[in-house]
Every structure is written in structure tokens, then in C-alpha cells.
Amino acid sequence: MHNLLISSRRNFIRSTAAALASAFFHWNFFSRKPDESFWFLHADSGASWEISDPVVWCLQNVNLPVLVRASEGLRKLTTQDGDRILRLVTRRCGLNLIEQSPGNIVVSYWGQTGLADVRPFFKKHQLARNDVQVFLKDRKKEIVTSHTGDNFLFGEKLATDWPLDHFLMKWRWRFLFQTDDWTAAPETWSGYSWAGLEPNRIPWAALKSAWRRKNAISCRNCDRPTILANFGEPWTAFFRRSPRFIYVCSACRRSFREESVKDVGAWIAVNLDSQFRPGFVMNWDQKTPIE
């Protein structure tokens, strides 16, 4: 019985793999679903355009600059060579083929470096959701990996225990003083120190001061304001401090690093009222008073 189970399971796996392979790797335009649409996404430029039949489109547009590196091969092929044509244009032209049907996306690309940044496409078509199934199909290795659409949101996913509710509550009270405003906001690390506070931690009072300036960036996923969750310039290597500005979006629960601030001292002078500015700069674990 045990052996029988194993062997039938093996057969099941084999037949499932075969079915997957035939569905994924043999291009058959006539097996398309009625509500399916096709797009090419150019990895280098990020441009995307809809096509009704990708194979026919490639054969008819052999002279377009985007197909120039496949044009010689394409001229020898016909509509009977659908799968070869798609392999050719993903390999030579940096194109990704996106097959879209409700709740389901297949992205075909060539090799590790051939996958385009699909995030802008997913955003535009509202596909970066956890109820969208995404199959990434590497035509070089003929490997398919399965994901959900929300893996293609911009930014970093917040840890489940990240204190978002605490930040939101403090943010809502940013125009009012609360008795615990001179305690450290969790998850902060600034490279500065405020009197009476654990080094590197940012007091809520200072965050509130910055929040009142309305300087938050927009979420790249939701296009709504984010909340500043960290600022400063902590030590990141033996001889180096690096600006660390982090914004979080409460709607998509993603965090974003903002790289545009180069002069953190100047940022502090503009964005924090004087009574909320740090008193010390950290030199590793040593505090040096700021003049």
C-alpha cells in the first residue's frame, strides 16, 4: 500500500509537471482564453504595448528598432514557429511577454537579467494585489516560479510586528503635545542623540516636528502621503555615515528609503523646530555636542 501510494504520487507529480510544461512552454495562440490580453514590455526602456497576437506582431514588425536584433532570424520564420519566435525576441530584444487574464499573469523573459522591472506595469494595471497569481517564466532555463501580485509592490514590506499603529496614533496627534513625546520612537536609528534619551533613538517630539512640515513623499504604490519613520545619518561602515530617511505607507504597509537628502544637518535645520533638534552627534558610541 505504501509503495503504491508513493508510485501513484510520483506519477501524479510527473503528469502534473508534463501538463504544466505543455501549457507553459508551447505557444498555442488558438488555445488562448477569450478574456486574455497580451503585452510586450521592453526591459531597457520600460515601455509596454498591447498586441493582439504576439507571434504575428513580431513577424509583421520585423523592421522596428525594438526587433532589430532578432530581425535576421525572424525573416526565416513563419506563424508555425510561434514558440521559437517568442524565445527569440525575449532572448535577443530584451522583451518580456505578459499574458494577462483575470486574476492571472504570466511573464516570459530570458535569463536572470532579462526580467524587466514589472512594478510600473503592475501598478498601472492594478495587478500588485495578493489575489493575483503571477507566474514568472524564464525561457532560458525553462523554469516557472509562482508568486502573488503584491510581491511586485514598490518598497519593502513592513514586518508584521512593525509598530505602524503606534506611528499612526502619534502622527494623528502631531499638532498636540503628549506626555510621552520625549520617549524614543521604536525602530528609529539616527546617528544623533537627544538629551535624556538612548543614543541614536529619535523622540516622538522630533518626529512630530518634522511631520508638521508636510514634507512626506508620496507612496509609489498608492500615490498618497507617507509618514516619515526615520531620519538621520548613522554609521554604516567603519569610516562612513549614510543618510537614513525612511517613509512608510499605512495603506500598502510598505517602507521606502529616500536617497535625495545629502546634507542631513541642513535638513534638520529646515525641518525641525529648534527645541526638537538633537543635542549630540554620535561618533560610534561617543556623543559629541552639536554647537
27, three cell numbers: 505557444
For cell 528609503, name the residue.
257
Report if residue 153 touches Zn ion, rule: CB under 5 A: no
DSSP state at residue 81: G
User: For residue 235, how many other CB atoms are within 10 A of its CB?
Assistant: 16
- Find the shortest distance in angstroms from Cβ 164 to Zn ion: 12
Q: Tell me phi and psi for residue 255, to 5 degrees.
A: -115, 150
Residue 249 found at the interface with Zn ion (CB under 5 A): yes
Residue 220 CB, nearest approach to Zn ion (Å): 7
Residue whose C-alpha is closest to residue 144's, from 21, 37, 26, 43: 21
**Structure-derived torsion over alpha carbons of residues 128, 83, 41, 67, reported in degrees to the nearest 10:** 180
Considering only CA atoms, give the Rg of the chain: 26
Q: How far apart are CA 228 and CA 217, in angstroms?
A: 8
**Judged by CB under 5 A, which of 96, 190, 221, 230 binds Zn ion?**
221
Segment contacting Zn ion (CB under 5 A): 34-42, 56-64, 77-85, 242-250? 242-250
Q: Considering beta carbons, is residue 74 or 164 the nearer one to Zn ion?
A: 164
String marking each residue 80-119 x if it binds Zn ion according to CB under 5 A: ----------------------------------------
Which stretch, 85-93, 175-183, 190-198, 213-221, contacts Zn ion (CB under 5 A)? 213-221
- DSSP lists the bridge partners of residue 157 as 254
Residue 230 forms beta bridges with which residues?
246
- Residues 156 and 136: beta-carbon distance below 8 Å: no
Task: Supply the DSSP string of 201-259, one letter for each residue.
Answer: PPBHHHHHHHHTTT-PPBPTTT-SB-EEEE-S--EEETTEE---EEEEETTTTEEEEE-
Does 217 interact with Zn ion (rule: CB under 5 A)?
A: no
Selected range binding Zn ion among 8-16, 33-41, 243-251, 282-290, rule: CB under 5 A: 243-251
Nearer Cβ to Zn ion (66/249): 249
Single out the segment in contact with Zn ion by CB under 5 A; choices: 3-11, 54-62, 90-98, 222-230.
Answer: 222-230
Count of residues in contact with Zn ion, rule CB under 5 A: 6
Among 118, 210, 219, 246, binds Zn ion (CB under 5 A): 219
The residue from 252, 264, 281, 282 that contacts Zn ion (CB under 5 A) is 252
Is residue 222 involved in binding Zn ion (CB under 5 A)? yes
Taking the complex as a whole, the smallest distance from the CB of residue 169 to Zn ion amounts, in Å, to 19
List contacts with Zn ion (CB under 5 A): 219, 221-222, 249, 251-252
